[in-house]
Structure 1
Amino acid sequence: MSLIDGIILLGLIALFLTIGIFGQTKTDSTADYFLAGRKLRWHQIGFSLFATNFSASALIGITGAAYAIGIAIYNYEWVGIIAMILFALVMVRVIRGSRVYTIAQYLGERFDDRVKTLYTIFVIFLLVFIDMAGSLYAGGLLLNQFIPGLSANAVIFLVMLMAGLYSVVGGMTAIARTDMYQSLVLLLGAVMIAWFSLSAVGGWEAFIETAPPESLSLIRGLDDRAVPWTGLLIGVPIICIYFWVVNQNMVQWVLSANTQADARRGLLMAGALKTLCLFLIVLPGIAAISFLPGLSEPDRVYPAMLLELLPSGILGLVLAGFVSGLMSNTDSTLHAASTMITMDFVRKRRPDVAPKTLILVGRLTTILIIGISALWAPNIGRFGTLFEYIQTLLSYSVAPFVVVYLGGMFWSRATAAGAVAALIAGFGSALAIAIMGDGLDLFSLHYLHVPLPVAVISVIIFIAVSLKTDAQPVEDRLSWSRRRGDTDSRTGMRLDRWLAGGLVVVTMGVLVLFW
């Protein structure tokens, strides 16, 4: 890395830290610190959702997966867009109207404290060992190649220090403020690497001609390593619903919105930006097959592309974009875990604690989470590729909570006993599949084929136990109803439906282009 690259990289990092730490931030109440006072506008939500999703682990993991597998990896992205549209048009008014701080709090009020506690433990585990650790691992994997003498562990420590600093000081408001600027640099860096990748293979027509035919196949056979067509039907939708609808790391931005219209439009804006992932991450990974043939470690593809393609000056900008994605995902994940621990555990046990004390607990919790994630991150390399590590864990773990969350929202007869039984049965069945399949080799089952049977077992137990137990009255604010009024004007909702329809058309058009 040249001197000019270093200056650009350090200059932009210093800018992000200055914006995050010294910008005007109000943290007098728990709503201010944990949910930005519930005053975020739609563009802030859209940029933050996009930056949190378009993370360092996505740049490393998806680029590597595209290199090894091809365009089929984009199936996760377009199904995710559909999940975001459904969330925006159908479920936002329930979760926003419940006036909760976390999904765990919603589940506790809809069911009971057992479900709330199980969700909190489960999601904190995923945030620490997937979101946080995955991003830190990706950062260490790339940056130690460009900063001589700096180990991957040292990079992990520096990133967690930088992102944790303004997260601890300014809370959600500081995170939202920095995410806007980080998103712009991230997009600019991604555009640069995409441009140089396609230029390296001779342009668009040369790319289509030289790419292996199977790499441009969106729908794959049953024996596909990454996304068999059956997995696309029965596995990917459940994972995407969890990620965008049930995951505190994403839903916290919806809860922080100024109005329901801001929440809906922020989701739709993030979905529109998400369509760019095909051109900015997936296709460059496929293009790399031509000028970086024979790489045995897919997670090394993105760093190799930067070394091979980018001239001095541009490299510093792209690295700054990578660090932007790394910091943005890290700060949001830290804040989500901190919010759940503070508001779902500490406040529950000590309801008389002053808001400033809760904020202090949130800050100390953030520091603890950073440390645990940093210790685990170097171990991810033992589990194959980063993308497969993340998707395998999600495939085995998220279906029971998707069932309980959606069941509680859309079925008023659902009971707490049914929810607890569904979670136990779901996780028990997932563990049994893992032991018999991966442990004892009694059968071979692709990880994307796991979510559906686990979900079916959870649904059966959920319904059966709920019908056998007495149902408690459910407050209107905690369940979905077609008759329930929306606080926004009909004109605003009509506009959002048009925006959602346009997003569907654009997404389908992109898919048809590569069908």
Structure 2
Amino acid sequence: MNISILDGSIIIIYLMLILTIGLFISRKEGVESYFVNNRSTRLFFLVFTALSTSIGAGTVLGVASSSFSTGISLGVTFMIASVLGWGLMGYLAPRIKKFGDDTRAYTFGDYLAHQYSESTRKVSRIVVVVAYFFATAIQFVAFAQLINVTTNLSFTPAILIVALVTIIYTTLAGVKGDFVTDSIQFFIILPVFIFLFLEGFSIVGFQELLTLPDGFFNLYSYDGPTFFWAGLALGFPLIVTSVDAWQRVFAADNRKTARKAFWISGALKILAIGAAMVVGFLAFHIVPNAPQDAAMFALMQEILPSGLLGLGLASILAIIMSTVDTGILVGSATITKDFYLVKNPNASNTQILKVGRLSSLLFGIGGLLLAYFINDIVILGVVSVQILLIFAPALLGGLVWNINNKQAAFWSILFGFMVTLAVLPFDVNRAFIPGIVVSIVAYLVPLIFSQGETKIS
């Protein structure tokens, strides 16, 4: 794909705008502002930052690509899981917000230490860092693929350019900058998708759109019935196990705002997934010979005029950047609060902010290196999601039933993590099934057989 000077200029201007926002916001930044936006985020910003973060490359590009090649299966799985998961997160948000305000928490590692033990925090922080390394890397790979497809620039310089901009503005601006840019990015994405639909449907009528190969309307076409049903039954708590979701709850100005934000964002996410599915179907009819991973880009090039194409490509950058900056900040918050402050509880706010920014920088570079060596979007995305799911028993047990058995949480997270990692090389798509099952069993066994609570040192 070769883009015009106008389209390229729009992309460059967009990247410079985001970098400028980061520099501006960083001028007056404190610890609370950097990590949780002073716990004062209003509904408007909270809705769009939660939504923008959750519809990164894995959702929009992944669902569009799967709809282009296998039909509705993955998109419908995501939709149903989102209804269940985001509904649950909205229900639990006031409890999480109260805990965050009472304890000045930044991560759910703080919650696990409070509800269970410091040992549980210690094992959880390792799992979180590993999961978000992969989550950050997937966005960098998507970045590089976009630049490569649009400019024919090779993978290495492409990934360095976009990583440099993202890491700099995230390191400087923190969560506040993340929230502001997420909201801007949402309103860049929206008009592009509207125009894409209008142009697409002028070429492909609704009836023709639904004229698809056999199997495209089969719910099991993506990876069989096991993946579909296990994805719903075991995968729906994913949003509850996402540290970035907890950060957004902590950042809300009150409990009602936190609850409303996740319910509204959840409804909008379902629409976003549906939109990505339609894009995949349009691409199937209009650019049937496009590579699966580049189907959305090929559709944009085919039907968007010069200028709007640049805005469209900038919107894809916006989708990706909304997720990558969040991944970096989650890693930074975990390193700062769950590693550094555990060892240095009396550190000053200035020291904490310095460590936070340095952690953001190093975490971003770490994700970049991982993306360079493992540049498969599917593998990176699946690994990050499946690792996070093993937190579900401990988090739901504490939040819903107020269980505080220290052994249950510790062994649940540790064994679930080990089993998931062990199975991943053999079955990437379904490693979460034995992982979460082992995590549930390891959580329940101490509850059944232990009369008291035994602390693990």
TM-score normalised according to structure 2 size: 0.90
1:26-64 Cα offsets, whole Å, 9 max, x none, are 423x22221010000111111011111222343332221
Report the alpha carbon displacement of residue 467 of structure 1 after superposing the two structures with TM.
Answer: 4.2
* Corresponding residue number in structure 1 for 2:170: 167
Q: Distance in 2 between matches of 1:421 and 1:23?
A: 42
* Corresponding residue number in structure 1 for 2:46: 45
Residues 364 and 421 (structure 1), Cα distance of their counterparts in 2 relative to 1, 3 Å cut: same
Report the alpha carbon displacement of residue 203 of structure 1 after superposing the two structures with TM.
Answer: 2.1
* Corresponding residue number in structure 2 for 1:109: 114
* Corresponding residue number in structure 2 for 1:76: 78
**Is the 2:419–2:435 contact (alpha carbons within 8 Å) kept by the matching residues of 1?**
yes
| Aligned residue pair count | 448
Give the alignment of 1:278-427 within 5 angstroms.
Answer: 278-295=273-290, 297-381=291-375, 383=376, 386-387=377-378, 389-391=380-382, 394-395=385-386, 397-427=387-417
CA root-mean-square deviation: 2.5
Q: Distance in 1 between matches of 2:342 and 2:428?
A: 40
Amino acid in structure 2 at the alignment position of 1:163 = T
Which structure 1 residue ranges, 5 or more long, are not aligned?
439-444, 474-515
Give the alignment of 1:21-60 within 5 angstroms.
Answer: 21-23=23-25, 26-28=28-30, 30-60=31-61
Give the alignment of 1:189-338 within 5 angstroms.
Answer: 189-200=192-203, 202-209=204-211, 211-217=212-218, 219-220=219-220, 224-226=221-223, 228-242=224-238, 244-295=239-290, 297-338=291-332
Report the alpha carbon displacement of residue 293 of structure 1 after superposing the two structures with TM.
Answer: 2.5
Report the alpha carbon displacement of residue 110 of structure 1 after superposing the two structures with TM.
Answer: 0.9
* Corresponding residue number in structure 2 for 1:505: none
Residues 434 and 165 (structure 1), Cα distance of their counterparts in 2 relative to 1, 3 Å cut: closer
SS in 2 for 1:98: helix
Report the alpha carbon displacement of residue 393 of structure 1 after superposing the two structures with TM.
Answer: 5.4
**Is the 2:52–2:186 contact (alpha carbons within 8 Å) kept by the matching residues of 1?**
yes
Amino acid in structure 2 at the alignment position of 1:121 = I
* Corresponding residue number in structure 2 for 1:137: 141
Q: Distance in 2 between matches of 1:126 and 1:199?
A: 42
**Is the 1:136–1:156 contact (alpha carbons within 8 Å) kept by the matching residues of 2?**
yes
* Corresponding residue number in structure 1 for 2:440: 459
Report the alpha carbon displacement of residue 430 of structure 1 after superposing the two structures with TM.
Answer: 3.6
Report the alpha carbon displacement of residue 233 of structure 1 after superposing the two structures with TM.
Answer: 2.5
Amino acid in structure 1 at the alignment position of 2:9 = I
Q: Distance in 2 between matches of 1:144 and 1:434?
A: 29
Q: Distance in 1 between matches of 2:328 and 2:429?
A: 27
* Corresponding residue number in structure 2 for 1:86: 88
**Is the 1:46–1:266 contact (alpha carbons within 8 Å) kept by the matching residues of 2?**
yes
SS in 2 for 1:101: coil
Report the alpha carbon displacement of residue 328 of structure 1 after superposing the two structures with TM.
Answer: 1.4
Report the alpha carbon displacement of residue 114 of structure 1 after superposing the two structures with TM.
Answer: 1.7
Residues 237 and 166 (structure 1), Cα distance of their counterparts in 2 relative to 1, 3 Å cut: farther
**Is the 2:279–2:296 contact (alpha carbons within 8 Å) kept by the matching residues of 1?**
no
Amino acid in structure 2 at the alignment position of 1:124 = V
Tell which deviates more after alignment, 298-307 or 369-378: 298-307
**Is the 1:105–1:116 contact (alpha carbons within 8 Å) kept by the matching residues of 2?**
yes
Report the alpha carbon displacement of residue 373 of structure 1 after superposing the two structures with TM.
Answer: 1.2
Amino acid in structure 1 at the alignment position of 2:329 = H
1:188 aligned to 187, 191, 201, which one? 191
